[in-house]
Amino acid sequence: MDFLIALVLVVVVVGAIIFISGFKIIPQSEVWVIERLGSFRGVESSGLKFFVPVIDKVRNKVPMRELTYDVPPQTVITKDNVSITADSFMFFNVFDAQKYTYGVQNVGNALNALAVSALRGIIGNMELEECLRSRDSINRTMTVELDKATDKWGIKVSRVEVKNFMPPRDIQDSMERQMKADRERREQIIRAEAEKASAILDAEKEKSVQVLRAEAAKEAAQLNAEANKIAVVQKAEAEKEAALIRADAEKAVRIKQAEAQAEAIRAINAAAPSEAYLRLKSYESFIAAANGQATKIIVPSDMQGIVSAATAAKEAFMSHR
């Protein structure tokens, strides 16, 4: 009886342990492919799950993170028969865990074979220089081809990168010499362009200086002309004012002379001059005319009478003394 009780207890404990072992916790970044009695049962995502012990089996734990695969360096031949070594890697993620588990036996080998085949096909249609210049184009083409080929495996290829192209050593030396020649040529071109730009700047500077000098000379000439014009106008106005003053002075003198003559005439008329006095004045006028600039002198017919009158006037003057 005790044996039966012990056996029952053992069976219960073992059953409890087996039942409890059926509970599994799936991480957030994984999905599990489950088989029941050797057949695909389903895909379980993250969380606490129960699997029937012994009957259910975890076939594969598929990571849902983005994965990388480094393709080993491969020797490929370009269109112009140059052997180069290409090193690449790819980024991919699993979008179908069932296809990923049952679609291919070894994912790494399959991806490596596809990458090498695609790389050889692409580079085989390019020459060496084109390969070295077109790395981005090669990356895009390989990404498209590998993504299309891996759809049946539940894999999405997001990006392929060719890390490096290594041509043979002699080709590298030739390329280095060519790059050095190109750098020297570009340096000469840059230097020539710099000298050209400097010459243009110097010419523009000299042109600006000449223009400024011409404008300054023009402005100076205009200022001199205006100053000369003002001086001429001021001189003319001064001469005009001086002429007006002289004319006024001469006019005043003539008026004074006329007034004096008129006064003298009035005094003479008031004194009732004798005939002898008048003849004497005529004689003085004749003497004044003879002392002038005239080349011909007409002697009046009554000059003798004038002389006689002058003599008489002298005698009269002496008798009064």
Q: Domain holding 111: CATH number?
A: 3.30.479.30
56 shares a domain with 141: no
Percentage of the residues of the chain whose pLDDT score is greater than 70: 78
At residue 214, does pLDDT exceed 80?
A: yes
18 shares a domain with 58: yes
117 shares a domain with 58: no
Q: Among 109, 139, 167, where does a domain finish?
A: 167
Residue 194 lies in a domain: no
Cα–Cα distance, 185 to 183 (Å, whole number): 5
Residue 103 lies in a domain: yes
- Rg over alpha carbons for the chain, rounded to the nearest Å, is 69
Q: Which domain holds residue 14?
A: 2-62
Cα–Cα distance, 137 to 131 (Å, whole number): 9
**Amino acid, single-letter form, for residue 298:** I
136 shares a domain with 159: yes
Residue 13 lies in a domain: yes
Q: pTM for the complete prediction?
A: 0.49
H-run or E-run covering 241? helix 169-271
At residue 6, does pLDDT exceed 60?
A: yes
At residue 320, does pLDDT exceed 50?
A: no
Q: Among 103, 132, 167, where does a domain finish?
A: 167
Q: Among 62, 79, 108, where does a domain finish?
A: 62
Residue 137 lies in a domain: yes
CA-based nearest residue to 278, from 308, 303, 299, 309: 309
Range from 2-6, 27-31, 196-200 carrying the lowest mean pLDDT: 2-6
Cα–Cα distance, 106 to 72 (Å, whole number): 16
Please tell me the predicted confidence (pLDDT) of residue 317. 44
Residue 81 lies in a domain: yes
Residue 151 lies in a domain: yes
83 shares a domain with 56: no
Most confident listed range (119-128, 277-286, 307-316): 119-128
Residue 221 lies in a domain: no
Q: Span 133-149, mean pLDDT?
A: 88
Please tell me the predicted confidence (pLDDT) of residue 72. 86
Domain count, the chain: 3
Q: Token match 């999405």: residue?
A: 156
CA-based nearest residue to 157, from 168, 144, 147: 147
